[in-house]
Amino acid sequence: MAFIGDADEQNNPSITTLKILIIGESGVGKSSLMLRFVDDSFDPEQPATIGVDFRVTSMVVDGNRVKLAIWDTAGQERFRTLTPSYYRGGQGVICVYDVTNRSTFEHLDHWMTEVDTYSTKDDAVKMIVGNKIDLPNRVVSREEGMKFAKRHRALFIEASAKTKEGVQCAFEELIQKIIQTPGLWDSDKPTFRLGQQATGGDGMCGFFNFDNSSWSEYNFSLRISSNRSFLKRDRRMSKAVTRVRKKEIIKIIHPPLLRTNIKAQMASAAPPLGPMLGQRGLNVANFCKEFNKETGHIKQGVPLPTRVHIRPDRTYDLEICMPTTTWLLKQAAGVKRGAMSPAKGGEAAGIISVKHIYEIAKLKSQDKACQGLPLEVLCRKMLVCARSCGIKVIREDLDPEKLKVFLDERRAVVQKQLVELADKKAAKMLRTT
Ligand SMILES: Nc1nc2c(ncn2[C@@H]2O[C@H](COP(=O)(O)OP(=O)(O)OP(=O)(O)O)[C@@H](O)[C@H]2O)c(=O)[nH]1
């Protein structure tokens, strides 16, 4: 698959124009993903989309030129108008969430309902994208994302519009899937006309009028004219195809970079690590042996963020980072558990001083991902993480006497919380049996 320029258009005319929608909560990075894919650019100050933004590009899939009309919709409810018309005729829908913001993940259900309600194509290809994986404060795991995608029979990938990771792969996979779906794009040819008006009133997708002189510029008008009988016929035809294809569409794309936490000296073929490695075609036993050997000098059980860069020939580079920030913070505070509800009521799970923060930041600065980051920025990240674990950071040195009293009290609180949790679990088991 490759991008080609306008000059090639005459030699290799496009077989179709595909309408791809990007949806999801505000701020998850929809516009950023689109701009990374189309212009290979990233704006850290990307303004919010109002209504709908739109880009056109083209690519070659299996030797065929395909034009892509990518619709970037506004995540903010107040900027969303004409919702049904966004979906009309869309062959592919990319539903984005932010891996560092759980509520954007929890709202995916709403977006999938919207797709099912408004999509005029039963077999439109859906893809779930977990964006912003470059950020350290992830709260939605890859497994959760995969599970959601599987439930909705959608493709799944994690990406970062900032670092480019997974972006190209996401679009390519989506387009390929659409092209492989008979009836999804080939029956639409008359409804998409570039540089000229579509004829007749039976265009169920409205009509586009592009300024062909520049691909990045656009000038489109939308005419909502749906012919119901045409719609029904199209649905009847595609339902038969859908039945066959629904099973196939559950395909998870594994990007070449695997990021996970593995405990020092404790890598094993058991889930979740074993399946993660196996799905990528790595020799699990050899990997575990190598990892455990590499971490032989570290205390057993310390959680180590690990990156595995997998090459197409299944060889890999192993990057083992400093222990996770939360683990380091909890060690510094002398506690095993963070606060259950740090936001509510300001429950404090531990106390550390700013000196601890500085030392932890210095340790983390040795990680490849943090290299080049000023220590001040890292310290701020540590502070955010401490806050989310409920660990209080004080400016002055800790008073050992006061700390001992605090830790004794905290132990009693944790004990009580654990008993309550066990009771709740037992009550739930009773209800379900
Ligand atoms: N670190 C990081 N920041 C990102 C990434 N993608 C987007 N952002 C930032 O997140 C913010 C929101 O990005 P947008 O692309 O405007 O998000 P959106 O989903 O289009 O938002 P709406 O237009 O309001 O619907 C911007 O400040 C981006 O720079 C990413 O992969 N990593």
Q: Which segments of 119-227 does DSSP mark as H helices, in order?
A: 142-151, 167-180
Measured between alpha carbons, how far is 33 from 28 in angstroms, rounded to an integer? 9
- Contact 417 CB / ligand 1 (< 6 Å): no
- In tens, the pLDDT along 80-122 reads 555 667 788 889 999 999 999 999 999 999 888 888 888 888 7
Domain membership flag for residue 220: no
* ipTM summary value: 0.98
Confidence of residue 433 (pLDDT cuts 50, 70, 90): low
Percent of the chain with pLDDT over 70: 74
151 and 39 co-located in one domain: yes
Question: Which residue, of 298, 320, 342, is where some domain finishes?
Answer: 320
Q: Is the pLDDT score of 133 beyond 90?
A: yes
Q: Which amino acid is at 220?
A: F
Residue 275 maps to which CATH number? Answer: 3.30.1550.10
167 and 293 co-located in one domain: no
Which range is most confident: 183-187, 271-275, 353-357? Answer: 353-357
297 and 384 co-located in one domain: no
Query: Cis peptide before 400, with omega less than 30 degrees from 0?
Result: no
Among 127-136, 188-197, 386-395, 423-432, where is mean pLDDT lowest? Answer: 188-197
Domain membership flag for residue 384: yes
Domain membership flag for residue 102: yes
* Per-chain mean pLDDT for the chain: 78
What does each C-alpha distance from 119 to 72, 83, 159, 338 come to in angstroms? 16, 10, 25, 44
419 and 297 co-located in one domain: no
Please give the residue range of the domain that contains residue 264: 258-320
Tell me the mean pLDDT in the region 127-142.
Answer: 94
Counting from 1 in the atom list of ligand 1, the atom nearest the Cα of 47 is 16
316 and 341 co-located in one domain: no
- In tens, the pLDDT along 12-66 reads 666 778 899 999 998 899 999 999 999 898 988 877 766 667 788 888 776 777 8
H helix or E strand, kind and range, residue 364: helix 354-364
pLDDT for the residue 83: 63
Measured between alpha carbons, how far is 414 from 387 in angstroms, rounded to an integer? 18
Domain membership flag for residue 169: yes
Name the token pair of 398: 């800790």
Give strand pairing partners of 317: 309
Name the token pair of 345: 């009521």
Q: Is the pLDDT score of 223 beyond 70?
A: no
- Contact 41 CB / ligand 1 (< 6 Å): no
**CB-based contacts of 273: which residues, under 8 Å, 6+ apart?**
260, 262, 267, 284, 288
- In tens, the pLDDT along 224-263 reads 233 333 344 444 445 544 554 444 444 556 667 888 999 9
Domain membership flag for residue 377: yes
Q: Which amino acid is at 111?
A: W
Residue 131 contacts residue 33 (beta carbons within 8 Å): yes
Distance 111 CA to ligand 1 centre (A): 18
Name the token pair of 63: 């030797």
Q: What are phi and psi of 175, to 5 degrees?
A: -65, -45
Which residue among 21, 42, 46, 132 is best mutated to probe the pocket of ligand 1, counting the most ligand atoms within 8 A of its Cβ? 46
Residue 165 contacts residue 159 (beta carbons within 8 Å): yes
Q: What are phi and psi of 364, to 5 degrees?
A: -65, -25
Among 158-162, 175-179, 212-216, 299-303, where is mean pLDDT lowest? Answer: 212-216
- Contact 50 CB / ligand 1 (< 6 Å): no
- Contact 27 CB / ligand 1 (< 6 Å): yes
Question: Which residue, of 184, 210, 236, is where some domain finishes?
Answer: 184
Domain membership flag for residue 230: no
298 and 340 co-located in one domain: no
Domain membership flag for residue 194: no
- Contact 36 CB / ligand 1 (< 6 Å): no
167 and 291 co-located in one domain: no
- In tens, the pLDDT along 296-330 reads 999 999 999 999 988 877 888 899 999 999 999 99
Nearest to 205 by CA among 53, 122, 83, 87: 87
Q: How large is the C-alpha radius of gyration of the chain? A: 25
- In tens, the pLDDT along 374-423 reads 999 999 999 989 988 889 999 988 888 888 899 999 999 899 988 988 88
- Contact 28 CB / ligand 1 (< 6 Å): yes
- In tens, the pLDDT along 169-194 reads 899 889 888 888 777 776 554 433 33
Q: Is the pLDDT score of 198 beyond 80?
A: no
Distance 207 CA to ligand 1 centre (A): 29
Work out how many domains the chain is built from and give that number. Answer: 3
- Contact 161 CB / ligand 1 (< 6 Å): yes
268 and 387 co-located in one domain: no
Question: Which residue, of 320, 336, 371, is where some domain finishes?
Answer: 320
Q: What are phi and psi of 130, to 5 degrees?
A: -90, 110
Residue 52 contacts residue 103 (beta carbons within 8 Å): no
286 and 371 co-located in one domain: no
> Helix, strand, coil shares of the chain as percentages rounded to 5?
40, 20, 40
Domain membership flag for residue 192: no
Measured between alpha carbons, how far is 187 from 180 in angstroms, rounded to an integer? 13
Tell me the mean pLDDT in the region 195-214.
Answer: 31
272 and 404 co-located in one domain: no
Give strand pairing partners of 315: none
Among 68-72, 200-204, 233-237, 302-306, where is mean pLDDT lowest? Answer: 200-204
pLDDT for the residue 345: 56
- The closest residue, in CA terms, to atom 32 on ligand 1 is 132
Confidence of residue 154 (pLDDT cuts 50, 70, 90): very high
Residue 389 maps to which CATH number? Answer: 1.10.10.250
- Contact 99 CB / ligand 1 (< 6 Å): no
289 and 396 co-located in one domain: no
Measured between alpha carbons, how far is 330 from 341 in angstroms, rounded to an integer? 16
275 and 332 co-located in one domain: no
